[in-house]
């Protein structure tokens, strides 16, 4: 595996200075609501120290009556899948034990943040419940695979805090408009990036970094949607948070991000059959355990899902990513390549010639790409093409010429150009995320050249798939 693809800290490369500058005011406002305040930090230190006693833990909690009251209120609330029904802090410690109380203190502190912090548009209550459920599943997954540190549990609790940052920075209505079109998943990330130049995962990582949260937790927040490629998973700890997020969506009856879930399960070393046991962490005792069917079967039986893009007829994002990941792993996959194709100026075509002409452009580009390899529409005006062994040579130049020719034959046709980024598995390895990330870098450089600019360093922009 490419060493770069296993570096959790490289999420920083995807944050452009311009995007970070736009979030400064929002992060400054939320910096006054740190999750890990003095009491929580003391509780964690005592719980982690084998030389301390239960009395030390009780004393630390009782020294902050407000936090102790909040912890008990949270521990006995419907937010908990299984409320502990404790009346005093000492009872809570005795009922759940030190390790569980450590987690409970973090959850109570996060719950307090969710209640008091500004932002979130109209989904504050939903975020409370989702965060705790993801953290619980992520911690369960971490216990199974012996992942270490606070990344899985605290990363799960805080994974969506960027959804507090974006409404402050860009307005609640703008975020609600995105949520109305794409409530969650890769579609939401793509829309956020398109409209704000940054998504909620990266925005949350920047806030957590400001709070001084540990690097493994910050990375878990940044990567919970798979990073710039949507399929990145640098560590088992991050994989646990990704699995937790997908499991909670599935328990709620939503379709998971199948490719990211497959990647995360593989990175964590978990079989798909583990999902049903992990889901039990989120299910109250009053709900039948088998309700909704097996999660494992929903992950593996993907043939029931749509595989094609309705407009262009090529593979849709999910199916193309799955097919390309499989192709990279097959014999000869290390001689193949991924080509990313972005249709330049599609918005201008839509404005000048109408959206129907824009659809014609996308359909014609898809047809041309199909003549060179296996194409998929990844979102909007972005396509990916899997090029088998021997097909990469001259592919980019040939595609660009064919696109120009296709729209240059009629005087009333729009002027259409494409930017292309190529990455060969022989250079970047057969890990899907690594190859896609290299193709994104090449695509960004090509777009800069098409605009007449010198290519910027990777860290100066935020390519996202």
Task: Judge if 349 and 277 occupy the same domain.
Answer: no
In a domain, 350, yes or no: yes
Q: Quick check: 414 and 357 in contact, CB under 8 A?
A: yes
In a domain, 166, yes or no: yes
pLDDT tens digits, 253-301: 888 999 999 999 999 999 999 999 999 877 554 344 445 568 888 777 7
Quote the tokens at residue 460.
């100066």
Task: Judge if 218 and 295 occupy the same domain.
Answer: yes
Residue bearing tokens 């705790």: 132
Q: How far apart are CA 334 and CA 423, in angstroms?
A: 11
In a domain, 90, yes or no: no
In a domain, 94, yes or no: no
Q: How far apart are CA 269 and CA 237, in angstroms?
A: 11
Instruction: Give the model's pLDDT for residue 294.
Output: 81
Instruction: Give the model's pLDDT for residue 299.
Output: 75
Task: Judge if 271 and 333 occupy the same domain.
Answer: no
Torsion 436-438-442-445 (CA) sign: positive
Q: Tally the domains of the chain.
A: 2
Instruction: Give the model's pLDDT for residue 452.
Output: 53
Q: Which of 258, 274, 300 is the last residue of a domain?
A: 300
Instruction: Give the model's pLDDT for residue 285.
Output: 41
Quote the tokens at residue 250.
């599935």
Instruction: Give the model's pLDDT for residue 123.
Output: 59
Instruction: Give the model's pLDDT for residue 461.
Output: 47
Task: Judge if 296 and 321 occupy the same domain.
Answer: no
Task: Judge if 353 and 220 occupy the same domain.
Answer: no
Residue bearing tokens 């990582």: 205
Q: How far apart are CA 234 and CA 5, in angstroms?
A: 6
In a domain, 111, yes or no: no
Q: How far apart are CA 237 and CA 217, in angstroms?
A: 9
Q: Which residues of the chain have pLDDT under 70?
A: 1-5, 78-83, 119-125, 283-293, 302-304, 451-464
Instruction: Give the model's pLDDT for residue 438.
Output: 94
Task: Judge if 209 and 335 occupy the same domain.
Answer: no
Task: Judge if 196 and 225 occupy the same domain.
Answer: yes
Q: Quick check: 2 and 434 in contact, CB under 8 A?
A: yes
In a domain, 86, yes or no: no
Supply the CATH number for residue 367's domain: 3.30.70.270
Range of the domain at 389: 317-460
Supply the CATH number for residue 137's domain: 1.10.3210
Task: Judge if 137 and 179 occupy the same domain.
Answer: yes
CA torsion, points 449, 454, 457, 460, in degrees to nearest 10? Answer: -90
Task: Judge if 326 and 289 occupy the same domain.
Answer: no
Q: How far is CA 443 from CA 309, 440, 446, in A?
A: 22, 5, 5
Q: Which of 266, 300, 334 is the last residue of a domain?
A: 300
Instruction: Give the model's pLDDT for residue 336.
Output: 96
Residue bearing tokens 């190859």: 435
Task: Judge if 143 and 222 occupy the same domain.
Answer: yes
Q: Which of 252, 271, 300 is the last residue of a domain?
A: 300
Quote the tokens at residue 305.
């899902």
Return phi, psi of residue 419, to 5°: -105, 140
pLDDT tens digits, 86-122: 788 888 778 777 777 788 888 888 877 887 777 655 5
Task: Judge if 398 and 281 occupy the same domain.
Answer: no
Q: Quick check: 361 and 346 in contact, CB under 8 A?
A: yes
Task: Judge if 25 and 165 occupy the same domain.
Answer: yes
Instruction: Give the model's pLDDT for residue 292.
Output: 52
């Amino acid at each position: 595996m490419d060493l770069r693809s296993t570096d959790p800290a490289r999420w920083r490369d995807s944050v452009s200075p311009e995007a970070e500058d736009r979030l400064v005011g929002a992060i400054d406002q939320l910096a006054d609501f740190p999750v890990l305040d003095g009491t929580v930090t003391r509780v964690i230190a005592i719980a982690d120290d084998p030389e301390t006693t239960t009395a030390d833990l009780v004393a630390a909690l009782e020294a902050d009556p407000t936090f102790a009251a909040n912890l008990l209120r949270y521990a006995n609330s419907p937010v908990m899948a299984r409320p502990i029904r404790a009346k005093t802090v000492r009872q809570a410690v005795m009922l759940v034990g030190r390790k569980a109380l450590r987690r409970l203190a973090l959850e109570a502190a996060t719950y307090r943040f969710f209640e008091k912090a500004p932002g979130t548009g109209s989904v504050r209550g939903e975020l409370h419940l989702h965060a705790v459920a993801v953290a619980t599943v992520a911690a369960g997954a971490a216990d199974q695979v012996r992942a270490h540190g606070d990344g899985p549990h605290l990363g799960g609790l805080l994974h969506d805090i960027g959804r507090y940052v974006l409404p402050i920075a860009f307005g609640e209505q703008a975020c609600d408009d995105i949520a109305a079109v794409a409530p969650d998943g890769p579609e939401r990330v793509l829309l956020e990036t398109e409209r704000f130049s940054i998504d909620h995962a990266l925005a949350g990582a920047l806030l957590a970094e400001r709070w001084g949260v540990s690097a493994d937790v910050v990375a878990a927040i940044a990567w919970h949607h798979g990073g710039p490629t949507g399929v990145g998973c640098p560590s088992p700890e991050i994989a646990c948070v990704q699995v937790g997020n997908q499991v909670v969506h599935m328990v709620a009856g939503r379709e998971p991000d199948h490719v990211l879930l497959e990647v995360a399960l593989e990175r964590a070393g978990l079989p798909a059959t583990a999902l049903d046991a992990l889901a039990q962490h989120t299910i109250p005792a009053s709900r039948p355990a088998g309700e909704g069917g097996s999660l494992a079967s929903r992950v593996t039986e993907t043939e029931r899902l749509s595989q094609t893009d309705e407009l262009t007829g090529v593979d849709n994002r999910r199916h193309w990513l799955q097919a390309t990941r499989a192709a990279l792993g097959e014999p000869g996959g290390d001689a193949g390549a991924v080509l990313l194709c972005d249709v330049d100026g599609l918005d201008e075509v839509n404005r000048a010639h109408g959206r129907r002409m824009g659809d014609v452009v996308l359909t014609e580009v898809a047809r041309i790409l199909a003549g060179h390899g296996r194409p998929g529409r990844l979102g909007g005006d972005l396509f990916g093409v899997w090029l088998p062994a021997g097909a990469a040579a001259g592919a980019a130049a040939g595609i660009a010429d064919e696109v120009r020719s296709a729209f240059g034959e009629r005087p009333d046709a729009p002027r259409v150009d494409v930017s292309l980024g190529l990455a060969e598995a022989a250079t970047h390895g057969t890990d899907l995320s690594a190859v896609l990330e290299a193709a994104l870098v090449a695509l960004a450089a090509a777009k800069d050249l098409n605009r007449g600019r010198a290519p910027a360093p990777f860290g100066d922009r935020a390519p996202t798939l």
